[in-house]
Amino acid sequence: MSEQPPAFQFATAAQQDEASTLGMWTFLATEVLFFGALLAGYSAYRITHPAEFAEAARHTKIVLGTANTAVLLTSSAFIATAVEMTNAGRRRAAALCLALTAALGIAFIAIKGWEYSLEYGEHLVPALNFDADRYGGIAQLFFLFYFFATGLHALHLAIGIALVGGLAGKSVSDRPPETITVRMIGLYWHFVDVVWIFLFPLIYLVGRNQ
């Protein structure tokens, strides 16, 4: 519950917190449909061209992808802990967990950047240097979706890192963030994590061993 008096349009602080929570969930519903449209398009082509997509997917870097999955899941554990620490009023512990969350987010983006540079070196980037003669036109479609989806995910993650980093700094300042703010940003972080949990198997795993 908020420590400050509620805004004028609310009767109680509890009502305000409930409104914020519902607002965030509604926003995440929008985001689900946003990514959902992309994954629906990807899946449609995957079904139309199963062999070509499976072949193209073998060029993705599964070790780096798996490492990133571990990094992101760990970051979610830290932000969940940060929410609990904030609830318990343990501000320094909360700040530490938030800082670790943001650091892991940055690590994810660094690994992703490394992965992108490897793919650039192998002429796998559509519109920049894709070698269609070597990989085929359908593989280009696959990599277009790959960069589109992982790029949008990374953009969402970057926004999350900025938010969480800001919270970490604020947690040790004179005016610590409200519990509800930490919880809201935590929800957003988990959402970005969940998007990756769908992207990882769809891109890296499906059909890899056929």
DSSP letter (8 states) at residue 131: -
If binding is defined by CB under 8 A, does position 54 make contact with other proteins?
no
Q: What does the alpha-carbon distance between residue 200 and residue 208 come to, in Å, rounded to a whole number? A: 12
Question: CB of 128: closest distance to other proteins in angstroms?
Answer: 9
If binding is defined by CB under 8 A, does position 198 make contact with other proteins?
no
How many angstroms separate the Cα of 25 from the Cα of each of 68, 77, 169?
A: 26, 20, 25
Q: Which of 61-69, 100-108, 122-130, 158-166 is the region at the interface with other proteins (rule: CB under 8 A)? A: 122-130
Nearer to other proteins, 11 or 63 (CB): 11
If binding is defined by CB under 8 A, does position 197 make contact with other proteins?
no
Sequence-ordered list of residues with C-beta below 8 angstroms from that of 143, at least 6 positions apart, any chain: 56, 59, 119, 124, 125, 126, 130
Reference 146, options 64, 76, 30; nearest CA is 64
Q: Is 139 helix (H, G, I), strand (E, B) or coil?
A: helix
Q: Which of 2, 6, 13, 31 binds other proteins (CB under 8 A)?
A: 31
If binding is defined by CB under 8 A, does position 89 make contact with other proteins?
no
| Site residues for other proteins per CB under 8 A | 8-11, 15, 18-19, 22-23, 26-27, 29-31, 33-38, 40-41, 44-45, 48, 126-127, 130, 137-138, 140-141, 144, 148
